[in-house]
């Protein structure tokens, strides 16, 4: 972490910032001072004091946002190596990426949840001091709100910037938190994290192109060169990060086209012999394991069917422990997959989705392992940090 300022620790997590962040602080102070009218701040000194209060609150809100990610990640056993602050936001460097859509959704959403709370708090202050109506909301949204007191003026500026940050950050485009949330939803629906990443990364590129258009409009129609340059810089940042997210997705798809089920299967599956009884099956397969089913194998190790734990326990409850386990196997197809089936095809298997796992057989039909849906999915997940 050379070339960075060490700002301290919170909940055991280091907080750092690049030296360019200091430059941003001074620029922000200068710009914020211009938002306070003479009625509220009659002297330059008072304007800069109020500007400093705005910047401090903004930074604290930003830190809170990043620690929303960090503390939610900790709930799922993901540690945060450091929180990094920079001019356009922050970055929680996580020890690993999400392993399932639930982790991805809640860790991504925790940051905006903190920003929402800050936004609501600022709005409540404005409402308590000056009253809150549509006219006041319009003035805040157009940065024309001056407030009747220094407190409401500061709260109005915080409400504008935090509200804007919240809306922008929830856009369904990587690297924004909204992109992570969108990724988790697509991942949940399709069962493929790569599709979620591809969708959110493509949305990020679209957003970057739109921001270039905004930048050109700001310069050409409003004459706001500074704001235009900021929009252009933001577009570049989003495009670069969306592109970086898309590259691992393409690599992952390439890997998925090469990795067979045998690479991620459990080579010592739980099984039941065709000669076992219901009591044997319970003792050997289900009593000490949380399994929904076990494979039934003949003496040569070939699959004879899938034995549901529920059927075994129904038989035991009925007082028939000596019932042959093979008689409890549902008739019909014997769900299984070949050891050379590739992961991207395996994840489309309806039996895998229904059962959660499948026996893996070799070319002669002998069971050589069991592959779970979770293991196949995790093999395709890219790990990384969470950027706001």
CA dihedral 220, 23, 165, 226 (to 10 degrees): -10
Chain Cα centroid distance, residue 188: 12
Task: Supply the DSSP string of 186-216, one letter for each residue.
Answer: HHHHHS-HHHHHHHHHHHHHHHHHHHHHHHH
Dist CA 371 CA 362 (whole Å) = 13
Q: What is the reported pLDDT for 385?
A: 40
Q: What is the reported pLDDT for 39?
A: 83
- CB contact set of 301 (below 8 Å; sequence gap of 6+): 366, 367
Q: What is the reported pLDDT for 248?
A: 53
Half-sphere exposure of 361 (CA within 13 A, CB side): 17
- Assess if CATH 3.30.360.10 describes domain 261-378: no
Q: What is the reported pLDDT for 311?
A: 93
**Domain-wise residue ranges, the chain:** 1-170, 187-256, 261-378
Mean pLDDT by 10 residues, the chain (388 residues): 74 86 84 82 88 92 94 92 82 84 94 95 87 69 70 88 89 86 90 80 85 83 71 76 61 59 85 93 88 91 92 94 92 86 82 88 89 75 42
Burial label for 337, CB within 10 Å (0-12, 13-18, 19+), is buried
Burial label for 299, CB within 10 Å (0-12, 13-18, 19+), is exposed
pTM of the model: 0.62
């Amino acid at each position: 972490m050379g070339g960075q300022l060490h700002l301290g620790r919170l909940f055991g997590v280091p907080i750092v910032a690049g030296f360019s962040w200091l430059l941003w602080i001074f620029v922000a102070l200068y710009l914020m001072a211009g938002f306070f009218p003479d009625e509220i701040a009659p002297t330059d000194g008072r304007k800069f004091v109020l500007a400093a209060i705005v910047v401090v609150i903004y930074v604290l809100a930003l830190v809170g946002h990043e620690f929303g990610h960090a503390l939610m990640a900790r709930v799922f056993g993901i540690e945060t190596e450091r929180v990094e602050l920079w001019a356009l936001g922050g970055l929680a460097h996580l020890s690993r990426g999400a392993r399932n859509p639930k982790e991805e959704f809640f860790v991504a959403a925790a940051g905006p949840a903190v920003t929402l709370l800050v936004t609501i708090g600022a709005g409540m202050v404005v409402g308590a001091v000056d009253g809150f109506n549509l006219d006041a909301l319009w003035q805040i949204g157009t940065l024309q709100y001056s407030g009747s007191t220094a407190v409401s003026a500061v709260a109005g500026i915080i409400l504008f910037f935090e509200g804007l940050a919240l809306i922008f950050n929830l856009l369904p485009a990587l690297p924004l938190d909204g992109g992570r949330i969108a990724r988790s939803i697509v991942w949940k629906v399709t069962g493929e994290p790569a599709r979620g990443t591809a969708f959110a990364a493509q949305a990020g590129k679209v957003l970057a192109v739109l921001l270039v258009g905004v930048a050109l409009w700001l310069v050409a129609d409003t004459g706001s060169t500074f704001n235009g340059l900021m929009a252009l810089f933001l577009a570049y940042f989003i495009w670069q990060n969306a592109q970086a997210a898309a590259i691992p997705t393409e690599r992952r798809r390439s890997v998925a086209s090469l990795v067979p089920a045998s690479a991620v299967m459990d080579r010592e599956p739980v099984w039941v012999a065709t000669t076992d009884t219901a009591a044997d099956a319970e003792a050997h397969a289900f009593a000490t394991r949380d399994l929904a089913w076990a494979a039934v194998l003949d003496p040569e190790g070939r699959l004879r069917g899938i034995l549901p734990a529920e059927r075994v326990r129904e038989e035991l409850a009925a007082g028939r422990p000596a019932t042959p386990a093979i008689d409890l196997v549902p008739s019909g197809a014997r769900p299984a997959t070949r050891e050379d089936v590739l992961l991207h095809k395996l994840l489309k298997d309806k039996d895998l989705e229904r059962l959660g796992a499948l026996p893996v057989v070799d070319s002669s039909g002998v069971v050589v392992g069991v592959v779970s849906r979770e293991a196949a999915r995790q093999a395709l997940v890219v790990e990384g940090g969470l950027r706001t």
